[in-house]
Amino acid sequence: MRAQAALLTAVGIGITLLFLQGGSVLGPLGAMLNLLTPVAAAYISMRFGLQAGVVLVAVVSLLLMQLAPLYTLTAYLALFGVGSLLLPFFLRQQYSWDRAVFLSVTGATLATAAMAVTAVVTGGGRFDLLIGQVIQTEVDQAMEVYRQAGLSESQLQQMQDLVAGLAVFIQSSFYGLFIAALLAIQMACLGLLQRMKKNYYRIAGVPFAQWRLPATLIWPLILAGFATLASSEPLVLLGRNLLAVLLPLYFLQGLAVVSSYLQKKAYPTFVKGLIYALLFIFNPLPLIITGVGVFDLWVDFRRPRKKD
């Protein structure tokens, strides 16, 4: 068992580094691999215990200290490293999967805030300037990926303008978008852990097709929507950040509704996978699915219908 754990941990270190650097190594398609960065550590932790996962995260962090800028190490710990340990920790305690995700996202957010405060205090800078530097680094990396993709000068200029405008929006909604990114990463990690569990471990909680948000969460969503229409800039920023967190949650509930329908159909696995992929990338389907998640509170799309 120890030899198997050591071997899989070594393989997991390599996979984690590959996924973390996927964007710079494989181009735009490889950037999607970043979402899978925490999977190896989480899987090792689920199979062999938290200690094995800590070893993997520690070794990756030490390698990043030697091979990459300090920003890469900080981004790894904030977005992937902490969550890749917290999620399996709570799952192994037999918390329901939704509660485990909530606690791991909360823990990763608090850990990131602590690292940010430490960086501001030791560096003598300002928090908003630190966020601006983080966003600018991401913009530069994104443009480098587009350059490697072989775009023409006119296309690069268009992307530069688009990315610059997007950077302004991200800075104004940074806190909510960061939490939403953590949620997306943790949910992707959870989905793969569910696929790879076999008989190695158990994940508690209701099936995703039956999952729904607490009904009272609709009120913060409504208030956040009205806040974005206010004349006060702080209220507008607060509303944007709340919507950045709440709308992805209702998108997940909409996906649960779709999942419940697909379970009733005898579609091949490939077709179901294609449907899910389209729901993520084909506009305006993500907005429609989010709307389904919101109105599921009143309509209850999954309620059995009586046939006349």
**Domain coverage including residue 306:** 207-308
What 3-state DSSP class applies to 265?
coil
Q: What average pLDDT does this structure show over 239-249?
A: 95
- Residue 120 falls within a domain, yes or no? yes
Global pTM exceeds 0.75: yes
Q: Is the model's pLDDT at 27 over the cut of 70?
A: no
Is residue 118 domain-shared with residue 29, that is, in the same domain? Answer: yes
Burial of residue 96, with CB atoms counted within 10 A of its CB: 0-12 exposed, 13-18 middle, 19 or more buried: middle
- Residue 212 falls within a domain, yes or no? yes
Domain with residue 90: its CATH number is 1.10.1760
Residues 185-232 have pLDDT tens digits of 999 999 999 999 988 999 999 999 999 999 999 999 999 999 999 989
End-to-end alpha carbon distance in the chain: 59
Q: Is the model's pLDDT at 103 over the cut of 90?
A: yes
Is residue 80 domain-shared with residue 59, that is, in the same domain? Answer: yes
- Residue 271 falls within a domain, yes or no? yes
Length of the chain: 308
Is residue 48 domain-shared with residue 188, that is, in the same domain? Answer: yes
Closest CA to 19 of 5, 32, 2: 32
- Reported confidence tier of residue 125, pLDDT bands at 50, 70, 90: low
Q: Name, of 122-136, 241-255, 275-289, the range with top average pLDDT.
A: 241-255
- Residue 224 falls within a domain, yes or no? yes
Residues 45-99 have pLDDT tens digits of 999 999 999 999 999 999 998 887 777 788 899 999 999 999 999 999 999 999 9
